[in-house]
Structure 1
């Protein structure tokens, strides 16, 4: 749950439709070369690299596609059964951002989940002699 909250924080800090995000801060700045905007951008980039790289290594291409398919189908079902409307683009944007963070959190947590289910460890690092 903590990994998902951190992923939500990362995604929504980068962009969200409310107007309070790094993207809006950058586009509304009088001078585009501002050290605080650059520092925040670098910190966000570090967070994105950590999450995306860990998710890619943990899930792989097939796992990432399956995670996106799962969450995409869930959104499709919500639209199909008229729980949400396609005309509400703000809500759809929020849902897409939550889906992105859920896929990233799944990727970051997948090795732990697999170890609990199977008892097997994932080891990516090896010693080169």
Structure 2
């Protein structure tokens, strides 16, 4: 851990990064990596390189999230997102069973999982003084 103080701007930056990665891979607007790949074989090498980069980033995010939160923590974050989504739907009188709403909810939940995985250790250290480390066997 660095000696620099951790603040909420770090959590927001990690959240924006997670949202960017998740919605860059797929979003219902039609402007995403998946839509670009399905357009044809033009720019094949660029698509392959960007796909490999996105895959590496997602694998890093997934491994970090799984390692920090463990399955129980991931379920708790997903349940928190579900509760927030249902509450928001009730307050705005929208249907959560609409396919578009379900898709956006799933993408936002994935981004929230990645954000929690990237931020939990820092927030826990800041609030409780607990440092998370990973032992590497040589």
- For the aligned pair, the TM-score class normalised by the smaller chain equals 0.7 to 0.9
Give me the whole-angstrom Cα distance separating, in 2, the residues matched to 1:41 and 1:20.
Answer: 15
Residue 38 of structure 2 corresponds to residue 27 of structure 1: yes
Q: How many residues align?
A: 127
Paired position in structure 2 for 1:62 = 72
Q: CA deviation at 1:120?
A: 1.2
Paired position in structure 1 for 2:58 = 48
Paired position in structure 2 for 1:78 = 88
Residue 130 of structure 2 corresponds to residue 120 of structure 1: yes
Q: TM-score, normalised by structure 1?
A: 0.87
Structure 2 unaligned segments of length 5 or more: list them.
Answer: 1-11
Give me the whole-angstrom Cα distance separating, in 2, the residues matched to 1:102 and 1:45.
Answer: 18
Give me the whole-angstrom Cα distance separating, in 2, the residues matched to 1:86 and 1:74.
Answer: 11
> Cα gap change, 1:66/1:86 in structure 2, threshold over 3 Å: closer, same or farther?
closer
Residue 12 of structure 2 corresponds to residue 12 of structure 1: no
Runs of 4+ in 1 over 4 A off after TM superposition: none
Give me the whole-angstrom Cα distance separating, in 2, the residues matched to 1:15 and 1:126.
Answer: 34
Structure 1 unaligned segments of length 5 or more: list them.
Answer: none
> Cα gap change, 1:127/1:28 in structure 2, threshold over 3 Å: closer, same or farther?
closer
> Cα gap change, 1:90/1:118 in structure 2, threshold over 3 Å: closer, same or farther?
same
Paired position in structure 2 for 1:111 = 121
